[in-house]
Amino acid sequence: MTANLLEFDLDGLAVFCERLGEKRFRATQLFRWIHQRGASSFDDMSDLAKSLREKLKTCAEIKPLSVITQHISDDGTIKWLFDVGAGDAVEAVFIPEDDRGTLCISSQAGCAVGCRFCSTGHQGFSRNLTSGEIVAQLWFAEHFLRKRLGVSQRVISNVVMMGMGEPLQNYSALIPALHVMLSDHAYGLSRRRVTVSTSGVVPMMDRLGIDCPVALAVSLHAPNDALRDNLVPLNRKYPLSELLDACRRYLAFAPRDFITFEYCMLDGVNDTAAHARELLALVRPVGGSELSCKFNLIPFNPFPASGLKRSSVAQVQAFSKILSDAGIVTTVRKTRGDDIDAACGQLAGDVKDRTDVAKRISKQRTVMLHPVMVGALTEQTKGTNA
């Protein structure tokens, strides 16, 4: 069987090399060729013995994901739709800024959590991505961007697991992929610049803190259980009190001294002044200790099946002000890649019309885009994720 070397973190690659009778330093060399140099052919790996290269050709490959579509916005935001086989596709988005380059990647095809305001949730769950498929999004984007910009140094400085899927429901694939992102022999990203976003899979938050503590974003979206049960069904299993306790425990391991709470602003649903005050009370319980956090307010990206509407700019500002006035750092995400938003709406039609692609990508879910991606998003306040 041919092994896809993108599946392995450095330890995994070392085990693979040992089985071939090769020493660990060979695995390091190979790992560097793949991730630092973007090599996909063993013939390019000039400092590996020819005999090893020949051996590798018989049992291994570096298997990229195929790109179905690529959209480049005037502001430099780039969105890719990758084919992951059997009619499924996932997205990644690169968001360039003055001081950093952020890549948003997917962890699953579809998602089982089923949040009301999320189109991925409405599509249902198809399957977990493998570690190699998670890493392949970064591998492709980083080396594509280096070629495009004509640079040899790193372009992507931050990775956020905010694409399709719930990363903590694909834990066993997530951890090796995070190792690859963090490894100095691969992408060398700092733990502070790799963010896992979760809807609140409490036991896995604890494990992440121990196994691979990276920056954590928690999708809160509601200040009480009744509302959160309705918006984020996972809340029925892990209610707010348990979720906030898990956040407090995570802080002991986190590379940053705060948790980022994401809050999708839904008109008339969770966006009133009373909700904002309730949120404050939640993170600052009377007689209890304050939970160190920041809020990131996300204007809802509407899609018809949701039956929900985006809060007005004034409402978002008023909400933000209540939190900020209380001394909690609050940012409002602004959309990026506006000119390719429309193109993304078009994308669904395009993909369906082109019969060759349509044959490969047949299910409806493959062409529905993650709402966050539809407005590839970034924070308004610079430096908060630096």
Active site residues: 91, 344
> Contact letters (x/-) for ligand SAH, 142-171, by CB under 6 A?
--------------------x---x-----
| Interface stretch with ligand SAH, choices 68-76, 172-180, 197-205, 273-281 (CB under 6 A) | 197-205
Question: Residue 318 to residues 277, 346, 352: CA-CA distances in angstroms?
Answer: 11, 34, 42
Binding-site partner at residue 202 among ligand SF4, ligand SAH, none, CB < 5 to 8 Å by type: none
The DSSP secondary structure of 347-363, one letter per residue, reads HHHHHHHSHHHHHHS-S
Does residue 301 bind ligand SAH (CB under 6 A)? yes
b/e code 358-384 from CB counts within 10 Å (16+ = b): eebbeeebbbbbbbbbbbbbbbeeeee
Give the binding-site size for ligand SAH (rule: CB under 6 A): 15
Give the binding-site size for ligand SF4 (rule: CB under 6 A): 11
Does residue 371 bind ligand SAH (CB under 6 A)? yes
Within a 10 A sphere around the Cβ of 96, how many other Cβ atoms? 18
Is residue 104 within a helix (H) or strand (E), and if so which, with residue range? strand 100-104
> Contact letters (x/-) for ligand SAH, 106-135, by CB under 6 A?
-----------xx-----------------
Is residue 17 within a helix (H) or strand (E), and if so which, with residue range? helix 10-19
> DSSP 3-state assignment of 189?
coil
| Interface stretch with ligand SF4, choices 17-25, 110-118, 252-260, 316-324 (CB under 6 A) | 110-118
Does residue 199 bind ligand SAH (CB under 6 A)? yes
Which residue minimizes CB distance to ligand SF4? 121
Is residue 319 within a helix (H) or strand (E), and if so which, with residue range? helix 313-325
Does residue 87 bind ligand SF4 (CB under 6 A)? no
Kindly list the residues in this chain that would bind ligand SAH in the complex (CB under 6 A): 117-118, 162, 166, 197-199, 219, 262, 264, 298, 300-301, 371-372
